[in-house]
Amino acid sequence: MWQASIKTLQGEDTKLDHFRGRALLLVNVASACGLTPQYKALESLQQKYGAQGFTVIGFPCNQFGAQEPGTATEIQSFCDTNYSITFPLMEKIEVNGPGAHDIYQQLTPLADNTGHAGDIQWNFEKFVVAADGGAITRFSPKTAPDDAAVIAAIEAGLPA
C-alpha cells in the first residue's frame, strides 16, 4: 500500500510512502453524511498530535448513499469552510468492489474493533497505521475519532 499511486485533492501525484515514519489515521470521508461531524474530531487529532509525527489522511468516497458527490474544489471548500481542515485530502476514490483503490484493497482484510473484516461498511471507517508500519488498527465508522481506543492506537503508533 505504501507504493500505491494516489493523487491529492489538488491533483498532485503522491504515495503513502511520502508519509512513512508518521503515525497515520486513514479515513474514507464524505461531506453529506450523518457522520460528517467527525471531521471536527479528526482535525482536533491532527492539531493535537501533528507535531508528534501524526497525520490524518482523508479519502473522499461517493460509494455510500452518494454522500460525496462534489468536485475536488467543492470538497475542499466544504472542508475549509465548515471544519478548517488542515490535514491532507486525497482524490475521490472507491474503497469497495472491483474499482477499490489499492490502498483499501490492502486494508480491508483487517478486522475492526467490532470483528468486521472485509468491505468498508460506510463513510468514516478508520485505520490507524503505526509510524513503523508494523501495526494497523481498524475502527468502525460509528467509532468516534476521539474514542479512547482510537487515541490509544494513535499514541502507541507515534514515532519513538
**Letter for the amino acid at 71?**
T
Q: For residue 101, which of 127, 79, 70, 137 has the smallest C-alpha distance?
A: 127
Catalytic residue flag (residue 33) = yes
**Choosing from 23, 24, 33, 131, which is the catalytic residue?**
33
Cα 86 to chain centroid, rounded: 13
On whether the CB atoms of residues 128 and 139 are closer than 8 A, the answer is yes
What's the Cα-to-Cα distance from 85 to each of 40, 42, 56, 133, 157, rounded to whole Å? 8, 9, 10, 25, 22
* Catalytic residue numbers, as ranges: 33
